[in-house]
């Protein structure tokens, strides 16, 4: 696939780094340093304006995908619009633009095909929506929905006081509609079998039918627990969207924000949210605002360093679950290493959307977990797919992947070895990055 990336900043660089080995990638940026950094990869780097029609005409010959991820919404939008007009590819060119201005987008992902943009994404809103999924599940550090909400993935931390620690997976009392797809143990990723036991501190990924997932929460010591109070440190786009979601769920929300005008705006738009004008890294302020009584604290300011500091302070005050925003590549595992429960990145949502587009037809959803150490991908199986029409036990499946769930019609279920996948079935795959290419071949 030929892919043109406009913008070689953190997001553009990371997208290019994920794609260049298996695709023909061209990256365009005006900045000297950004181009020099991108030039370290085996791809074509062009220094210039990605919205320049003459330049786009030169690079878009036979291109399949254009991704515009500069720091300017307008440049990204114009690049996509211009690309659609000048593209002379035999196949329709797909375009994606990253935007942040609420005047252009009011939900995480939108389609704007009428102006030439196949996918428009707001990373901040996408991240807020993603981390908000864990609000209703006290011990969860990640959660995602698939198959239009019929299937749910939850990542728990196995704690000493829960009954699953020390037990073999085959002896757990789990619903037949739920499966443990992975264990993250330190730096190791384990695709488990029945004889594998769960250790204290393991991150356990469970995928199951949404209606049945509530039944397993008692296994993790969650009976009778509810999230009632949330503190959000930082009232920007992420914090504001989080507050909206939490408020709709009946959760009491308290926001701490330094900018007085922003505080006034939030208080006016969200009158049921308590807004405090102050510094979220101030120990005395956190104490005064009773951070120790919070069920969850989100630290989502614009500074990685301040987010880490406020998160660790919340942990010191005894908060059970602390989630931070992180911008820089490589910081997420470091944050989690020192005590943060989940370090989420706005850019990761953009990268996931690009990866989905770059993998071609049949991809319905894609999410990465544990800092890109694994992926969960929702495919549609077609009549001519290699995975269709024969028992799963007869298919040469890569060792780093597992079929976690099949959705036939409207009914999700865990397939056995003799199950035959049919045309139109949705198939949920848990995969290590090294196995994704081989998995993808099964659905072509």
> CA–CA separation, 4 vs 212, rounded Å?
43
| Residue-level pLDDT at 211 | 82
For 187-239, the pLDDT digits (tens) are 788 888 889 999 988 889 999 888 887 777 666 655 445 668 999 999 999 99
| Residue-level pLDDT at 364 | 77
pLDDT at 420 over 60: yes
Cβ-Cβ contacts under 8 Å for 142 (sequence gap 6 or more) = 133, 134, 153, 154, 155, 342, 369
Identify the weakest region by mean pLDDT among 15-19, 24-28, 322-326, 354-358: 354-358
pLDDT at 329 over 80: no
For the four alpha carbons of 355, 359, 364 and 365, in that order, the dihedral sign comes to negative
| Residue-level pLDDT at 224 | 45
| Residue-level pLDDT at 220 | 65
Q: What number is the average pLDDT over the span 115-139?
A: 83
Q: What number is the average pLDDT over the span 300-306?
A: 94
Spatial strand order in the sheet of 296-299: 274-277, 252-257, 229-233, 296-299, 321-325, 342-344
Q: What number is the average pLDDT over the span 142-161?
A: 84
For 46-101, the pLDDT digits (tens) are 999 999 999 999 999 889 999 999 999 999 999 999 999 888 767 789 999 999 88
Q: What number is the average pLDDT over the span 136-159?
A: 82
| Residue-level pLDDT at 223 | 45
> CA–CA separation, 183 vs 128, rounded Å?
25
Q: How far is CA 362 from the centre of its chain?
A: 19
| Residue-level pLDDT at 99 | 93
For 369-382, the pLDDT digits (tens) are 877 788 899 999 99
What's the burial of 145, exposed, middle or buried (CB within 10 Å: 0-12/13-18/19+)? Answer: middle
Percent of the chain with pLDDT over 70: 95
> CA–CA separation, 314 vs 301, rounded Å?
15
pLDDT at 118 over 60: yes
96-121 burial: b if 16+ Cβ within 10 Å, else e: bbbbbeeebbeebbeebeeebbbbbb
> CA–CA separation, 381 vs 361, rounded Å?
10
What's the burial of 298, exposed, middle or buried (CB within 10 Å: 0-12/13-18/19+)? Answer: buried
pLDDT at 134 over 90: no
* Eight-state DSSP code of residue 316: H
> CA–CA separation, 376 vs 208, rounded Å?
13
Neighbours of 122 (CB within 10 A): 27
- Mean model confidence pLDDT for the chain: 88
| Residue-level pLDDT at 178 | 87
């Amino acid at each position: 696939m030929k892919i043109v990336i406009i913008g070689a900043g953190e997001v553009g660089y990371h997208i290019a780094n994920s794609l260049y080995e298996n695709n023909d990638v061209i990256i365009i940026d005006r900045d000297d340093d950004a181009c020099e950094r991108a030039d370290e990869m085996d791809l074509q780097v062009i220094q210039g304006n990605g919205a320049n029609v003459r330049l786009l005409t030169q690079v878009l010959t036979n291109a399949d995908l254009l991704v515009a991820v500069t720091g300017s919404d307008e440049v990204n939008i114009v690049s996509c619009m211009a690309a659609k007009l000048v593209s002379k590819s035999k196949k329709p060119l797909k375009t994606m633009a990253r935007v942040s201005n609420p005047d252009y987008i009011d939900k995480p992902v939108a389609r704007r095909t009428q102006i030439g943009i196949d996918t428009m994404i707001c990373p901040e809103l996408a991240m807020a929506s993603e981390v908000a999924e864990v609000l209703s599940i006290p011990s969860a550090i990640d959660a995602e929905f698939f198959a239009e909400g019929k299937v749910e993935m939850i990542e728990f931390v196995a704690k000493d006081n829960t009954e699953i620690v020390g037990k073999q997976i085959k002896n757990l009392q789990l619903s037949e509609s739920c499966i443990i797809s992975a264990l993250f143990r330190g730096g190791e990723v384990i695709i488990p079998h029945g004889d594998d036991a769960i250790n204290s501190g393991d991150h356990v990924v469970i995928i199951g039918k949404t209606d049945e997932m509530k039944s397993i929460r008692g296994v993790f010591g969650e009976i009778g627990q509810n999230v009632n109070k949330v503190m959000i440190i930082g009232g920007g786009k992420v914090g504001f969207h989080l507050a909206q979601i939490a408020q709709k769920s009946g959760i009491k929300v308290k926001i701490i924000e330094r900018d007085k005008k922003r505080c006034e705006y939030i208080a006016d738009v969200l009158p049921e949210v308590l807004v405090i004008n102050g510094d979220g890294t101030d120990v005395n302020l956190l104490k005064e605002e009773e951070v120790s009584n919070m069920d969850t604290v989100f630290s989502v300011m614009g500074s990685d360093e301040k987010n880490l500091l406020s998160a660790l302070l919340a942990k010191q005050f005894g908060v059970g679950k602390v989630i931070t925003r992180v911008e820089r590549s490589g910081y997420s595992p470091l944050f989690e290493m020192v005590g943060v429960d989940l370090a989420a990145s706005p850019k990761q949502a953009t990268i996931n959307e690009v990866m989905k587009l770059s993998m071609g037809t049949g991809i319905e959803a894609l999410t990465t977990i544990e800092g890109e150490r694994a992926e969960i991908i929702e495919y549609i199986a077609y009549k001519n797919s290699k995975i269709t029409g024969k028992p799963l036990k007869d298919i040469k499946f890569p060792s780093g992947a597992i079929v976690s769930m099949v959705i036939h019609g409207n009914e999700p279920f865990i397939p056995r070895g003799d199950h035959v996948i049919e045309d139109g079935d949705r198939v949920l795959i848990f995969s290590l990055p090294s196995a994704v290419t081989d998995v993808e071949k099964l659905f072509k």
